[in-house]
Chain A
Amino acid sequence: EVQLVQSGAQVKKPGDSLKISCKPSGYSFTSSWIEWVRQMPGKGLEWMGIIFPGDSDTRYSPSFQGQVTISVDRSDSTVYLQWSSLKASDTAMYYCARRNSKMGSAMDVWGQGTTVTVSS
């Protein structure tokens, strides 16, 4: 079974750093793009960026460029989303999802989501 398992909920203070993870299984890790999607409380989905684990090729939405870093650890088959200095406005649910090139690059498998709360 193909699945993406994300790390657990986080509660942080403004200015803290944070790295959350997404661990795919059930398929060849290096063969499909993985992306991150933000959903702020009560709001819609926002596309943040995407990474190809095979060669670490990474693209960002202009809205998130410079605000977050997407990375991969091929030795551990894990994709990461990190912040160097969190703001209260980073409070949201973050999903990782797999892009399936055989489905017109649709996101066919989603992680369970990681809740990030930033509060002083």
Chain B
Amino acid sequence: QSALTQPASVSGSPGQSITISCTGTSSDVGGYNLVSWYQQHPGKAPKVIIYEVNKRPSGVSNRFSGSKSGNTASLTISGLQAEDEADYFCCSSAGGNTYVFGSGTRVTVL
């Protein structure tokens, strides 16, 4: 059960769109529509922003969207804002009620 692969860092200017990938295998990302994404600001607990690949919890901005193709899930942040600067982690079911996180991506707003 290896960590899912994410880019270490992604950056963009305010107003731009960025996409973070999360690559796994057919045993996790590709095998289940149970991918979630978490935002973590420094010193804070993570917060869920996407679940079931592309669903947003109540209260989460519609600037966040998710998708999946094969063994790769993606998180897109549109209309990038300063407050979006944070670490982002994907998480996928790996079967048998076990889960695996991605390696994490630091988003920088230029």
Contact = CB atoms under 8 A, between A and B. Distances in A.
Given A103-B48, A104-B51, A107-B46, A33 B36 contact: no
Nearest to B51: A106
Contacts of B30: none
Interface string B13-29: 00000000000000000
Given A44-B102, A103-B52, A104-B34, A33 B97 contact: yes
Nearest to A49: B98
A37 to B, nearest CB: 8
B86 interface: no
Nearest to A43: B104
B90 to A, nearest CB: 10
A61 B38 contact: no
A44 B101 CA distance: 8
B107 interface: no
B97 to A, nearest CB: 5
A78 interface: no
22 contacts: A45-B89, A45-B91, A45-B104, A47-B98, A50-B99, A59-B96, A59-B97, A59-B98, A62-B1, A103-B36, A103-B48, A104-B33, A104-B36, A104-B52, A104-B55, A106-B48, A106-B57, A106-B91, A107-B46, A107-B48, A112-B45, A113-B45
